[in-house]
A and B are shown apart, each in its own frame.
Chain A
Amino acid sequence: MNLDLLLQLVVNGLIVGTLYGVVAMCFVLIYKSTQIVNFAQGEFLLIGAWVCWWLMTSFEAPIWIGFPLTFLFMLIFGVLLQVVVLRPMIGEPIISVIMVTIGLSIFFQSLMGWIFGVFAKPFPRVFETESINILGLQVQTAYMMSLVISLVIMVGFYYFFKYSRLGLAMRATAFNQQVAQSLGISVKQVFAMSWAISAMVSALAGVVVGMVNGVSSALSFFGIKVFPAVILGGLDSIVGAIVGGLTIGVLENLAEYFDAQWLHLGNLYTVAPFYVLVIILMIKPYGLFGTKDIERI
């Protein structure tokens, strides 16, 4: 047993896990208000990262300008996307809308490839110190930034859904669009809101990952990578998304630990979370915090 290594891995897992949590939250947001699983989530990250990268390299904008501008861009992007593509789909079968997000993902993936090329591009240096030491582990500063922002966002979301008028409207829309409409809720507005927020928050994650690894089309794989986190926490739970993210982050690292120390199977890091996911779902079919479907006749 190497406790030092174990500790470092757990810390690493927690930190990467927050990022999973943030992206998972974006999923949950869209799901909660529209019941759509957004397969273009990864592309949202990618677009956010590229836009921020572009602002910061072409105009040499500092991060505190580049980042808010990116947010603004993503806001407009989210609304536009909703108006142009998703609005006509209101009232259509959810599965068709999910397929549309797959189409979007193909579209944006190649659009980004065309505009920005396919090579990974380094992000301009943002923080004086690139990494700081936490419990013996060097951690990139960008992660710490995301940690703080995502905590704020998480708390915000929680209250938003629980208490705000719009939050209620989003939940009602997710329950049944016709019912929501009959209550005077503009399904279009609700959708626009949730896509815009989700796009903005994804951009945060995109920028952070971009800072750490460079920006490249591969970033979009993040979208699929966080599925286990989303499900583990429960599809409709903001808190669940964070817990799921952290759990998956730690799990991956623990798997790596056991693999490297004893098992030597290889690839446990990627696959183990999926085994655990299935086991947890067998015990708790709605994830850790997801609300049960109402089974009543």
Chain B
Amino acid sequence: ADSITVGHLAAYTGPTSDVGKPYGQGIADAMNYINANGGIDGSQLSFETVDYSYNAPQAIATYKRWMASNPAPVAIQGWGTADTEALVKFVTNDEVFFMSASYSGHLTDPMGKSERTKAAAPYNFFYGPSYSDGCRGVVQWASEDWKAKGGEGKPKFVHMGDNHPYPNAPKEACAAYAEELGFEVLNPIVYSLKPGDFKAQCLSLKESGANYAYLANTSGSNISLVKSCATVGVDTQFISNVWGWDENAQAAAGDAGYGIAWVVGAAGWNSDAPGMETVRAVSRMSDPSGNEARVLHYMRAVCGVFFMHDAMLAAEKMDGGVTGTNIKAAMEQMTDHVPAGLEGVCLPSTWTPDDHRGTNQVLVYKSTPNGFENVYTATLERRPEWLGW
């Protein structure tokens, strides 16, 4: 084939644009980079980027438009929870490879084995730890941290986040694991996904005496939270998830942001990993000067596209060529795979036909006045009961 059609759903506007923008840029840059460097074994990726403003029906309309066009995409790089979930049925039906930035646990269960999984999602993949695994990883760090600091008694853990599907996603899974690790789990504290003044919640947090507070919201409201808490004088250790903190958040939070520890899914922009060469080259696709510092989400996006690239290369050699089914099959054959050229950037990942938990490694970073530091790498067991949870 002379070109391979891919769809790209991005959220440059709408409520998730703060992280949707760098992520979407990463996807687009990476695909352009692949095209500029020989494509998939000579075939170009022909892709259209559509900003759907985080509006699920609009995403579906776009999907339908793509599927009605000729040639229809064989793969899609998607974005949020609601649209990913809504598309599960359709991509399964149409046999389209679908890579999302929604890391919900139940997307990791392609056969629908776990009783928690409601619908099998065989064509859905994502790169990085699931929300639940991420939280488990950072809780593991917290447990180590507690020991290292010589804390006495049971450390107290609290989940903080909006009463909303996304922050609630890892709530139970993570609390169960924290309890297992010897934490005392406190009543969750709710704060809005919309930034605001959270002094009230901070006072509650202070009052509760929690040692570790898991911030399940996105960075925008987390900034407000840590700033409010700094004003009130809270000395809890904040931990957060993969969307919960980044360079922009740190810049906006200032002093209040230092010390937070969170999940990171790939190397940072200033990392000296060998693979960063490639990432920099990718970045120059939209920033020829090479000056723009990319945020963490950008790297994750690049990794995602390169995993897809490698799978497409493998699919090329299969019967039928690059079809959704073949890309899926190729993905499911990867074991501790790191895309060529991205060594040290992407985490080695493994997918199998009945387990789509790509990685069991969780990088934990800490924000310091000198920049972000990788303080811990958790390696989680692949417990069967955690599949889809």
Interface on A for B, CB 8 Å cutoff?
2, 5, 8-9, 12-13, 16, 110, 113, 117-122, 130-131, 137-140, 212-214, 216-219, 221-222, 225, 252-253, 256-257, 259-260, 264, 266-270
Contacts and interface: CB of A to CB of B under 8 A. Distances in A.
A2 B203 CA distance: 12
B319 interface: no
Contact of B252 (A122, A137, A221): A122
Contact of A218 (B162, B220, B248, B251): B220
Interface of B: 13, 17-18, 21, 162-163, 187-192, 194-197, 199-201, 203-204, 207-208, 219-221, 223-224, 227, 231-233, 248-249, 251-254
A59 to B, nearest CB: 20
26 contacts: A5-B207, A9-B203, A13-B200, A16-B197, A110-B13, A118-B21, A120-B249, A122-B253, A131-B231, A137-B199, A138-B231, A212-B227, A213-B227, A214-B195, A218-B194, A225-B194, A256-B204, A257-B204, A259-B204, A260-B189, A260-B204, A260-B208, A264-B187, A266-B190, A268-B190, A270-B192
Contacts of B197: 12, 16, 212-213
A216 B252 contact: yes
Contact of A216 (B18, B203, B207): B18
A225 B196 CA distance: 10
A65 to B, nearest CB: 23
B196 A8 contact: no
A223 B195 CA distance: 13
Contact of A137 (B163, B219, B232, B248): B232
A214 B223 contact: yes
Contacts of A119: 18, 248, 251-252
B170 to A, nearest CB: 16
A41 B220 CA distance: 20
A50 B240 CA distance: 28
Q: Is the interface of B mostly helix, strand, loop or mixed?
A: helix
Which 5 pairs between the two chains have the least Cβ-Cβ distance? A260-B204, A119-B248, A120-B252, A214-B252, A256-B200
Contacts of A269: 190-191, 200-201
Q: Is the interface of A mostly helix, strand, loop or mixed?
A: helix
Given A221-B194, A270-B192, A138 B232 contact: yes
A134 to B, nearest CB: 12
Contacts of A217: 17-18
B17 A118 contact: yes
A8 B17 contact: no
A138 B233 contact: yes
Contacts of A13: 200
B200, B208, B233, B254 — most chain A CB neighbours (10 Å): B200
Contacts of B18: 118-120, 216-217
A256 to B, nearest CB: 4
Given A137-B232, A256-B200, A260-B204, A213 B190 contact: no
A177 B117 CA distance: 60
Contacts of B163: 266-267
A267 B190 contact: yes
Nearest to B188: A266
A213 B224 contact: yes
Contacts of B208: 260
Contacts of B219: 120
A232 B238 CA distance: 36
A139 B232 CA distance: 8
A225 B162 CA distance: 16
A120 B223 contact: yes
